[in-house]
Amino acid sequence: MPKTKMTPTQLVTPQQYLNGHVITKRLKAFGITDAQLNGVHFRKHEGDEFEDWRVISMKPWPPELMLDMRVWCTFRWLMLDDPPPSRNRRDAWKSVALYEAQPIFQAAARRQVNFRKGQKVANDKRTDDADNRSLAPFRAWASRVEAQLVKNKMDAKERVAKYIADKKPPDRQRRRLRALLKAGKI
């Protein structure tokens, strides 16, 4: 089927635009009927702000789709009633825009969480690598004299004390050796 361009004579009415909009299609995909969509309206009093408007439905809606019902009602009000410029109209458009951008926000939040998890893993790995590098002299010394230590039957505590006495490592390495010893990793 060849694609055709829209001409000014093929304009879409607000009702047709509303029926073909992504919000309407999404609700119909969840099983919402035309009767349910047409039974939704705002209950408002003169002077109420947009946030205070209540959404009333003549037909029952699934509880998990209440936000969707409010957004659809807002969008229908904007399309069909074409309200004059006001704060309520701006707030209504903002509500619809945030609803439509919600999947993008969720994807960005998931990406940020995954990035932070990956960063934490990388940081942990870097810390482990740094610890391994700082303990490398101790491990090399321990492997060279292991035979002597086995002969003397020294335990880990004695080996660490002997290393500290013989080599006089920096304070940071000394603290790390004592912490590993206390944790039972040496």
| CA distances, 26 to each of 47, 62, 71, 177 (Å) | 32, 14, 12, 60
Same domain? 63 vs 113: no
Same domain? 74 vs 18: yes
* Residue written as token pair 């807002």: 74
Is 150 among the domain residues? yes
Is 98 among the domain residues? no
Same domain? 124 vs 65: no
Confidence at residue 131, expressed as pLDDT on a 0 to 100 scale: 53
Is 153 among the domain residues? yes
Same domain? 114 vs 177: yes
Number of domains, the chain? 2
Is 152 among the domain residues? yes
Q: Are 40 and 73 in contact (CB under 8 A)?
A: yes
Is 100 among the domain residues? no
Is 161 among the domain residues? yes
Same domain? 76 vs 115: no
> Can you give the C-alpha Rg of the chain in angstroms?
34
Same domain? 113 vs 69: no
Is 163 among the domain residues? yes
Which tokens sit at 58?
Answer: 């003549």
Confidence at residue 148, expressed as pLDDT on a 0 to 100 scale: 57
Same domain? 122 vs 161: yes
Reduced to 3 states (helix: H, G, I; strand: E, B; else coil), residue 54 is strand
Q: Which of 47, 82, 117 is the last residue of a domain?
A: 82
| CA distances, 6 to each of 9, 10, 12, 20, 182 (Å) | 8, 6, 10, 16, 77
The structure's pTM equals 0.54
Is 122 among the domain residues? yes
For the chain, 186 residues long, give each residue's pLDDT as a single digit of tens.
445 555 555 688 888 888 888 889 988 998 988 888 888 888 887 788 888 888 888 888 888 888 888 899 899 999 888 889 999 899 999 989 888 888 888 888 888 887 777 665 555 555 555 555 566 666 666 565 565 555 555 666 777 777 777 777 777 777 777 777 777 666
Same domain? 121 vs 76: no
Range(s) of the domain holding residue 76: 11-82
Q: Which of 82, 99, 121 is the last residue of a domain?
A: 82
139-153 burial code (b ≥16 CB/10 A, e <16)? eebbeebeeeeeeee
